[in-house]
């Protein structure tokens, strides 16, 4: 009886211990699966593109990175944001584009915590993109600055460079001071403001920017061609059958990029040629072709004509846009500001932003209060007299201008099409889906701000030298 009791006790004890071990193993497996599902596991990838933050630009940015990696058979993009991993993966899965071999990995975490940065292999990333928040500009830039501080504090160091999207140009100096040579900045709001001015003064330029920025069509490439040393730039221009040379990265000037240099400029040792080409392996210099040189007309100066511009809506960087317009418009031009901000409040906002109204020499500000989406408010303006109209921003409603008195009870779209034949109409739109409506109506040109900024971020992430090109293109001096 005694031995039986002992054997039964041992059996029950063994079963109990086995059940406990099975429970522990099961709990460990469940915890590990939950960690993987919630995005707490460490990313083991390297040479990947890391995106920190989440905004409405993420879809366009991912699309551009996917296109850039297509020629390599795909790549790895890691996204870390303070959101649930499963929600992020669900939102990315809803994006309407083909990933073309690129894998997108999501992780939950804060870029301000070094442990979270280590979790996404930040030290092994070839490029790190810091997205701006969609909220207050100053708070967004302050967070970007703190993120750069965290990145510079990574003990293992960083293999790649940091691309920071900023909202205010005034904060760029601080970010560059903290990040040093690791940081490239793209000031989104400032870029879009300048683009809108350029596109309003040059019809069709918006489509050109959309084609050049990003990786879908032709893009910028910088490469060293030793066989071109000693050649004048006018000969370099005709040396590439499959690319368009548009500048030189001058070695003797610290790598400064000069767009459209003098024809007589001679390429020196170390100089690199900036071109627009389909891909980095689709072009090369060929034999110099024979060109017949004819006589050209002498230099002539086209006088500037006064312009009358209607600006609908309000932007945070309005004072910057006004100063740029004043620098490039002819004396006697008028800028009509049409929005719902009270006139006295407008002047206060402009002065607080750094605009000295007494120093405007070429333009006169004309203030009108009203809502640009209300038809009768638009009809109160002398619409037939404007050379161009800008709408800021463009979300759901469409805004235009036409001959005063010509608005009837007939087709509103038809009347806007007639108005667009008389003047340049530029709208800023945030949602890429809205451009299909504009394309079908054929009533307006537009600046797709979020997508253009995403294109610029992707290009700088792939090649940081391109940021120098973009800064030259968006500078005030290159405005026509």
CATH code of residue 123: 3.40.50.720
Q: Of the candidates 38, 35, 52, 182, which has an alpha carbon nearest to the alpha carbon of residue 114?
A: 52
Of the two residues 258 and 17, the one the predictor is more confident about is 258
pLDDT score recorded for residue 304: 76
pLDDT score recorded for residue 298: 58
Q: pLDDT at residue 378 above 90? A: no
For range 152-162, the mean pLDDT: 91
Does 135 reside within a domain? yes
Phi, psi dihedral angles at 143 (to 5 degrees):
-70, -40
For range 378-393, the mean pLDDT: 76
| Structural contact between residues 267 and 250, judged by C-beta atoms closer than 8 angstroms | no
Round the average pLDDT of the chain to a whole number and report it.
Answer: 81
User: CA 52 to CA 106: how far, in whole Å?
Assistant: 10
Does 243 reside within a domain? no
Q: Of the candidates 445, 464, 460, which has an alpha carbon nearest to the alpha carbon of residue 195?
A: 445
Q: Confidence class of residue 402 from pLDDT cuts 50, 70 and 90?
A: very low
Domain end marker among 147, 167, 187: 167
pLDDT score recorded for residue 261: 92
% of the chain exceeding 70 in pLDDT: 82
Q: Confidence class of residue 395 from pLDDT cuts 50, 70 and 90?
A: very low
Q: Confidence class of residue 447 from pLDDT cuts 50, 70 and 90?
A: confident
For range 349-375, the mean pLDDT: 87
Q: Of the candidates 166, 434, 467, which has an alpha carbon nearest to the alpha carbon of residue 317?
A: 166
Does 368 reside within a domain? yes
Q: pLDDT at residue 209 above 90? A: no
User: CA 372 to CA 387: how far, in whole Å?
Assistant: 17
pLDDT score recorded for residue 471: 83
pLDDT score recorded for residue 272: 95
Does 362 reside within a domain? yes
* Domain range for 111: 49-167
Q: Of the candidates 60, 78, 94, which has an alpha carbon nearest to the alpha carbon of residue 188?
A: 60
297 exposure class (CB count in 10 Å sphere: 0-12, 13-18, 19+): exposed
Q: pLDDT at residue 341 above 60? A: yes
Q: Confidence class of residue 295 from pLDDT cuts 50, 70 and 90?
A: low
Does 78 reside within a domain? yes
Q: pLDDT at residue 415 above 60? A: no
Q: pLDDT at residue 427 above 60? A: yes
User: CA 106 to CA 50: how far, in whole Å?
Assistant: 10
Of the two residues 428 and 237, the one the predictor is more confident about is 237
Give the pair of three-digit tokens for residue 14: 């063994």
pLDDT score recorded for residue 6: 67
Domain end marker among 138, 167, 196: 167
For range 24-44, the mean pLDDT: 67
Does 291 reside within a domain? no
SS3 content of the chain, % helix, strand, coil (to 5): 45, 20, 40
pLDDT score recorded for residue 413: 46
Q: Of the candidates 456, 398, 401, which has an alpha carbon nearest to the alpha carbon of residue 428?
A: 398
What lies within 8 Å, CB to CB, of 435 at 6+ separation is: 429, 446, 448
Does 55 reside within a domain? yes
pLDDT tens digits for range 251-270: 998 888 999 999 999 999 99
The three-state secondary structure class of 80 is strand
pLDDT score recorded for residue 267: 95
Of the two residues 45 and 40, the one the predictor is more confident about is 45
Q: pLDDT at residue 244 above 90? A: yes
Give the pair of three-digit tokens for residue 52: 């920190």
- Total structural domains in the chain? 2
pLDDT score recorded for residue 232: 93
Q: pLDDT at residue 233 above 70? A: yes
Domain end marker among 112, 144, 167: 167
Does 152 reside within a domain? yes
Q: Of the candidates 307, 275, 51, which has an alpha carbon nearest to the alpha carbon of residue 197?
A: 307
Residue 132 has what DSSP assignment? P
Which range scores top for mean pLDDT: 94-103, 158-167, 181-190, 396-405? 158-167
pLDDT score recorded for residue 39: 54
pLDDT score recorded for residue 328: 81
């Amino acid at each position: 009886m005694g031995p039986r009791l002992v054997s039964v006790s041992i059996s029950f004890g063994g079963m109990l211990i086995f059940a406990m071990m099975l429970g522990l193993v099961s709990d460990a497996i469940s915890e590990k699966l939950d960690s993987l599902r919630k995005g707490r596991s460490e990313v083991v990838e390297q040479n990947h593109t890391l995106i920190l933050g989440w905004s409405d630009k993420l879809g366009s940015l991912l699309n551009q990175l996917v296109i850039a990696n297509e020629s390599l058979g795909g790549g790895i993009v890691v996204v870390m944001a303070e959101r649930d991993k499963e929600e992020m993966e669900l939102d990315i899965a809803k994006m309407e584009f083909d990933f073309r071999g690129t894998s997108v990995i999501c992780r939950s975490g804060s870029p301000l915590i070094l442990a979270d940065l280590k979790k996404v292999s930040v030290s092994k990333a070839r490029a790190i993109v810091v997205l701006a928040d969609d909220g207050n500009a100053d708070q967004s830039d302050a967070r970007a600055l703190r993120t750069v501080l965290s990145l510079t504090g990574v003990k293992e160091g960083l293999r790649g460079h940091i691309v920071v999207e900023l909202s205010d140009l005034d904060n760029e100096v601080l970010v560059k001071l903290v990040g040093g040579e690791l940081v490239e900045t793209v000031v989104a709001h400032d870029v879009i403001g300048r683009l809108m001015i350029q596109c309003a003064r040059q019809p069709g330029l918006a489509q050109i920017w959309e084609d050049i920025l990003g990786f879908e069509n032709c893009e910028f490439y910088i490469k060293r061609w030793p066989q071109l040393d000693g050649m004048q730039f006018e000969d370099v221009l005709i040396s590439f059958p499959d690319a368009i040379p548009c500048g030189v990265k001058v070695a003797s000037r610290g790598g400064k990029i000069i767009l459209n240099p003098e024809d007589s400029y001679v390429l020196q040792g170390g100089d690199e040629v900036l071109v627009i080409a389909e891909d980095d392996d689709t072009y090369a210099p060929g034999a110099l072709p024979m060109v017949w040189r004819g006589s050209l007309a002498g230099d002539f100066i086209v006088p500037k004509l006064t312009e009358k511009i209607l600006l609908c809506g309000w932007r945070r960087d309005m004072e910057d846009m006004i100063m740029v317009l004043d620098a490039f418009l002819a004396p006697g031009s008028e800028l009509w500001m049409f929005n719902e901000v009270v006139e006295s409040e407008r002047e206060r906002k402009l002065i607080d932003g750094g605009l000295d109204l007494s120093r405007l020499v070429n333009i006169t500000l004309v203030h009108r209060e009203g809502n640009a989406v209300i038809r009768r408010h638009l009809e109160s303006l002398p619409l037939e007299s404007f050379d161009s109209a800008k709408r800021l921003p463009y979300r759901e409603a469409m805004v235009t201008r036409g001959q005063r008195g010509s608005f009837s009870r007939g087709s509103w779209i038809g009347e806007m099409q007639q108005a667009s034949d008389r003047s340049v109409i530029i709208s800023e739109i945030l949602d890429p889906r809205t451009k299909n409506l504009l394309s079908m109506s054929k009533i307006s040109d537009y600046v797709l701000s979020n997508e253009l900024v995403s294109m610029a971020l992707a290009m700088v992430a792939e090649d940081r030298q391109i940021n120098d090109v973009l800064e030259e293109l968006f500078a005030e001096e290159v405005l026509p």
